[in-house]
Amino acid sequence: MTNAKELLQKTQTLSAERANFETEWQDVADIFRPVKSNITVDRSKGDKENITRLYESAPINFVHQLKSIIIGVFFNRSIKPITITPVTEEVNEDQEVKDWITEFTDMILRVMFNPKSGFERALSEAVADDIVFGTIATFIEEGKKFPVKYHTLNIKNFLIAENDEGEADYVIIKHKMTARQIYLNGKIKMQIFMKKYYKLTKRILFKNLVCNYIYFQEKKEIKKR
């Protein structure tokens, strides 16, 4: 398990390796993806430094047009963008297995394309980022009001390292929190810990009481004898 020191070292190494790319991404984002043009520049609210570039909307429209084509061709609901096939061919020939896979695939698609999952919005953002930057990261987590929640991360907030086979080895997500968020997050975790500790303590006390009761009852029986 990676400790905090190793994680910080990996973060610094990956940040240094992609420093040159960040400058290019910033220049490209200013023209093609203004909503993500805060990679190396942190702009305050009301900053109009690059507002004149927004009057030329052709580059932005080009990205959206290509994004619409890609989503329409490869991620259309009617063509089922996800297919599941068993590794063993013999199993795949079983009709019951086919029926189960079809039912399971339909269930996955229903959850994915449900508006509450945020999949289509995250997909739209991810495809646009891939067109402009060439790299994306979509975070999937358990939702509070729905089983899953999709969220595409800003390119400046994550680092990806690949292994020798070209697969993602690990992903480091950077997340800024206000003092209030840190306090509330820590407070919630402490409340959860206290509840678990209280329940555990109750179980231990109850167990001890039962054991003591049995012990004294047995002691009384021995005295009577």
**Phi and psi angles of residue 141, each rounded to the nearest 5 degrees, phi first:** -140, 170
Residue 220 has pLDDT above 50, yes or no: no
Q: What is the pLDDT of residues 26-49, one digit of tens each?
A: 888 888 888 888 888 776 665 555
Of residues 25 and 220, the one with the higher pLDDT is 25
Average the pLDDT over 128-144 and give the result: 89
Q: What is the pLDDT of residues 88-132, one digit of tens each?
A: 777 777 888 888 888 888 888 888 899 999 999 999 999 999 999
Contacts of 159 (CB under 8 A, 6+ apart): 10, 11, 14, 15, 18, 171, 172, 174
CA geometry: angle at 154 spanning 149 and 158, to 5°? 95
Of residues 165 and 49, the one with the higher pLDDT is 165
Residue 15 CA to residue 158 CA, distance in Å, equals 10
**pTM for this model (two decimals):** 0.69
Q: Kindly report the three-state secondary structure assignment for every residue of 68-106.
A: HHHHHHHCCHHHCCCCCCCCCHHHHCCHHHHHHHHHHHH
Q: What is the pLDDT of residues 166-190, one digit of tens each?
A: 787 888 887 776 666 655 665 555 4
Listed by start position, the domains of the chain span 4-176, 178-225
Residue 67 has pLDDT above 90, yes or no: yes
Q: Which of 21, 53, 14 is nearest to 40 (CA)?
A: 21
Residue 150 has pLDDT above 80, yes or no: yes
